[in-house]
Chain A
Amino acid sequence: MSEITAKLKEVLTSVLPITLIVVILHFTISPLESDMFYAFLIGSALVILGLTVFLFGIDQGLEPIGQGIGNAITHSNSYAVLITISLVLGFFISYAEPDIHILANQVDSVTSGQFNKTLMVVAVSAGLGVMMTLGMLRILRSVRLKYVFTAAYGLIFVLSQFSSADFLAISFDASGATTGAVTVPFMLALAAGVSSLKRDSRMGEADSFGLVGISSTGAILGVLVAGIFLDVDKLEGTLPETEIATANMLESYGSKLISIARDAFLSLLPIIIVYILFQIFSFKHKKNKVIDIVRGIVMTFVGLVIFLLGVNGGFMEVGARLGMQLASMESSIPVLLVSLLLGLTTVLAEPAVLVLTHQVEDVTGGSVNRTLVLIFLSVAVGTSILMSALRILIPDIQLWMYLLPGFGLSVILAYFVPDLFVGMAFDAGGVASGPMTATFSLAFVQGIAAQVPTADVVTDGFGMIAIVAMMPIVAIELLGALYQAKSRKLSLAAKIRKRIVGGNYG
């Protein structure tokens, strides 16, 4: 049983911090209604349970499928096969992601129907499909990541000159929305499957990362390109504010279950279909293996539903309420402090973060410690939420003042950091903006915006995910730089020490 308790312990250490902070806030400066507080506690329990089941499911279902497909594509030794499969797969993974439809609906209403929701979803999915294909080709052709990201973000910068700031924010949010809890582990496994076949181990290691980062630029590019043709200048329409239901908590959970289950199933559907096709034409797995994978998929599904139920049923409303209560205080110190704390802790409970940090350990043979990666991610997202809150409180801060230097720095740093960390960093950007951020933190920031007269709930909310997607890139690249410096110092120190000791061996 030790394996289950170990996983449970890991999930507990990632979910308990955020729970504790809300509990402390409840008993001190920001009391919640008792119904909401209990709903939150139930939500936390569901998140812990769901995440544990989900992670086992990923291990047994999604990872073998992703790696298998990656291997099979590479073995086909045909660019036609690779390009076709990546394009189709990329398009449908994104199309099936529920978050992107929610975002598209919002965009549809704020642009008064000018940017049609179907068009938006298709633009994002097409962009993601194209960039994912380029990302796969890059692995095989060994094009360095820094060049790919320089080109992609250069293009985004050029295109952004032709669109309004609000629209830019939407495009970055689209990239955050497409890289959901199911997509990220699948893409990570796919990239690992392709890169594991390469001869040079050092490049192979670095190449298992970066696909998520490259794909998410596709979503941004898709929206920006579509925007140029549409010529949308200003966001005008209004967004119907999500009502904070204070109704019976059981009811609120019950009504959400069906829609969540449908969403979760839809986001898994493309992967299931692809697995069936590959099983018939390529894998031809034995019966036992198929049973393992089916069980894995079922566990992924069940875990995801329980997790999302907890987040949507218990976390979202608490986030919005905390944001409103803290923002209505006289001093702005508490709200800033709490945004930092919430950012620090929510990212730990993101499902994809747990998957990414494990893959980092696996790929580097344990040399890049997952605790370190978590510390840096946590600080990065904490800062991001703090920056978002600041932007709402101080209307003079424009979104581009964050994004331009931030993404500029990420691309420049890519030239000074080992390739492994560049890939990890850009993947982490996509990973950090998962379901936790998109519901809890977003609701919190929108809650603040609702209380600040100068703020606009829609536009300020839209920019937040862009910031959350940006800061982890810089943070992980900095970790890479520090890591490199320390390793160098270490090998030097080891030499000297050994010489003194007399060269025990070697």
Chain B
Amino acid sequence: MDKHIETAGNKYQILTLILSDSRCHKCIHIAKGKGLFGGIATIGRGTVSSSVLNALGIKSQKREIISFLLEKDKSEEILDCFTTELQLHEPGHGIAFTSPVILADRRVDEVQNNDDKAMMEERDMFKKLTVIVDRGMGQDVMDIARKAGVRGGTIMHGRGVGAEYTEKLFGVEIEPEKELVLILIPDDLVSKVVNALYEVFQLEEAGKGILFVEPVDEVRGLFQPSHHDNDK
């Protein structure tokens, strides 16, 4: 199954940038110029290494984490472009990296589904599923994932960025609120959960939401009672 999905969905990558406030602004601007769609930005806190600041109690600084789902053949070029425009080669200016994606932009079709079942017994592996939906729908995503057999997930707060968001209010761009749902799912549930989510949220239609699956190596702390149920 792994092979099948990997070869089929190999054309995508995730580009993640971790930047300061002002650089984030610039980055979104560049992304718009490049015509990138469907990015998501969340707010986080970075560490501070200066001992003077630490002595003053300033132990973290605001950081924005921006992710774009990109086609693999484009991502190199865009990463380079961000690197030069945002001067990422100098220390303290921010971080950018790409990571692999197994599945994006479509359902898992029936053939693979059968493969899944064949593989299920052999290995106990997990995948990381990310769903980006409009604000307030994260809970619905979880409800559906639960029905499909997932035990739990994490909902994060973010805002949509990219070339599709062109509305302005007094010169300030409007970036709608989004929710980012992270779920670790066992391989055998991937197709079921993904298809269920596609079904309910009509993800084939543009603007409804974004879903992608990333590979995961090791998982700890997850318990899978559904397995025992299946065995019985």
Residues in chain A within 8 A of chain B (CB atoms): 1-4, 6, 56, 60, 199-202, 205, 292, 295-296, 299, 361-362, 364-367, 369, 371-372, 375, 479, 482-483, 486-487, 489-491, 493-495, 497-499, 501, 503-506
Contact partner of A489 among B43, B167, B206, B211, CB < 8 A?
B167
The reply to whether A486 and B167 contact each other, CB–CB distance below 8 Å, is yes
The reply to whether A372 and B170 contact each other, CB–CB distance below 8 Å, is yes
Rounded to whole angstroms, the CA-CA distance of A479 and B204 in the bound complex is 33
Contact partner of A3 among B58, B175, B205, CB < 8 A?
B58
Residue of A nearest to B43 (CB): A366
The reply to whether B43 and A361 contact each other, CB–CB distance below 8 Å, is yes
Contact partner of A2 among B41, B61, B209, CB < 8 A?
B61
Q: Which residues of chain B come closer than 8 Å to A369, judged between CB atoms?
A: 172-175
Q: B191-214 vs A: 1/0 string, CB under 8 Å?
A: 000000000000111111111100
The reply to whether B207 and A201 contact each other, CB–CB distance below 8 Å, is no
Residue of A nearest to B37 (CB): A504
Q: Which residues of chain B come closer than 8 Å to A498, judged between CB atoms?
A: 37, 164, 206-207
Rounded to whole angstroms, the CA-CA distance of A489 and B176 in the bound complex is 11
Contact partner of A493 among B12, B52, B167, CB < 8 A?
B167
Contact partner of A505 among B69, B136, B173, CB < 8 A?
B69
Residues in chain B within 8 A of chain A (CB atoms): 12, 20-21, 37-38, 41-43, 48, 50, 52-53, 56-59, 61, 64, 69, 92, 104-105, 132, 134-136, 138-139, 155-159, 164-167, 169-170, 172-179, 203-212
Rounded to whole angstroms, the CA-CA distance of A494 and B209 in the bound complex is 11
Closest 8 CB pairs of A and B: A498-B206, A495-B207, A365-B157, A506-B210, A367-B159, A202-B136, A367-B177, A494-B164
CB contact under 8 A between A501 and B37, given known A201-B179, A367-B175: yes
The reply to whether A365 and B159 contact each other, CB–CB distance below 8 Å, is yes
Contact partner of A4 among B58, B134, B177, B212, CB < 8 A?
B58
The reply to whether B21 and A6 contact each other, CB–CB distance below 8 Å, is yes
The reply to whether A483 and B174 contact each other, CB–CB distance below 8 Å, is yes
Q: Which residues of chain B come closer than 8 Å to A201, judged between CB atoms?
A: 135-136, 138-139, 155, 157, 179
CB contact under 8 A between A487 and B57, given known A495-B207, A498-B164: no
How far, in Å, is A8 (CB) from chain B's closest CB? 12
**Most B C-beta atoms less than 10 A away, residue of A199, A362, A366, A491:** A366
Rounded to whole angstroms, the CA-CA distance of A60 and B53 in the bound complex is 13
Q: Which residues of chain A come closer than 8 Å to B204, judged between CB atoms?
A: 503
**Most A C-beta atoms less than 10 A away, residue of B12, B157, B166:** B157
Contacts A375-B172, A483-B174, A491-B207 known; 9 new A-B pairs at CB < 8 A: A6-B21, A201-B135, A201-B155, A292-B59, A366-B64, A486-B174, A487-B167, A499-B206, A506-B105
Rounded to whole angstroms, the CA-CA distance of A60 and B60 in the bound complex is 10
Q: Which residues of chain B come closer than 8 Å to A482, judged between CB atoms?
A: 169
Residue of A nearest to B165 (CB): A490
Contact partner of B56 among A56, A205, A371, A499, CB < 8 A?
A56
Contact partner of B37 among A367, A483, A505, CB < 8 A?
A505
The reply to whether B170 and A4 contact each other, CB–CB distance below 8 Å, is no
CB contact under 8 A between A493 and B174, given known A498-B207, A505-B12: no
Residue of B nearest to A497 (CB): B164
Q: List 18 A-B contacts (CB under 8 A).
A: A2-B61, A3-B61, A367-B135, A367-B159, A367-B177, A369-B173, A372-B170, A375-B170, A486-B174, A490-B166, A494-B165, A494-B206, A495-B205, A497-B164, A497-B206, A498-B207, A505-B105, A506-B69
Q: Which residues of chain A come closer than 8 Å to B176, judged between CB atoms?
A: 367, 487, 490-491
Contact partner of B48 among A3, A60, A505, CB < 8 A?
A3
The reply to whether B57 and A295 contact each other, CB–CB distance below 8 Å, is yes
Q: Which residues of chain B come closer than 8 Å to A371, judged between CB atoms?
A: 172
CB contact under 8 A between A506 and B38, given known A366-B43, A486-B167: yes
Rounded to whole angstroms, the CA-CA distance of A296 and B175 in the bound complex is 33
The reply to whether B139 and A200 contact each other, CB–CB distance below 8 Å, is yes
The reply to whether A365 and B177 contact each other, CB–CB distance below 8 Å, is yes
Residue of A nearest to B138 (CB): A201
How far, in Å, is A218 (CB) from chain B's closest CB? 31
Rounded to whole angstroms, the CA-CA distance of A39 and B80 in the bound complex is 52
**Most B C-beta atoms less than 10 A away, residue of A2, A201, A483:** A201
The reply to whether A362 and B43 contact each other, CB–CB distance below 8 Å, is yes
Rounded to whole angstroms, the CA-CA distance of A151 and B159 in the bound complex is 34
Q: Which residues of chain B come closer than 8 Å to A60, judged between CB atoms?
A: 57-58
The reply to whether A495 and B58 contact each other, CB–CB distance below 8 Å, is no
The reply to whether A365 and B53 contact each other, CB–CB distance below 8 Å, is no
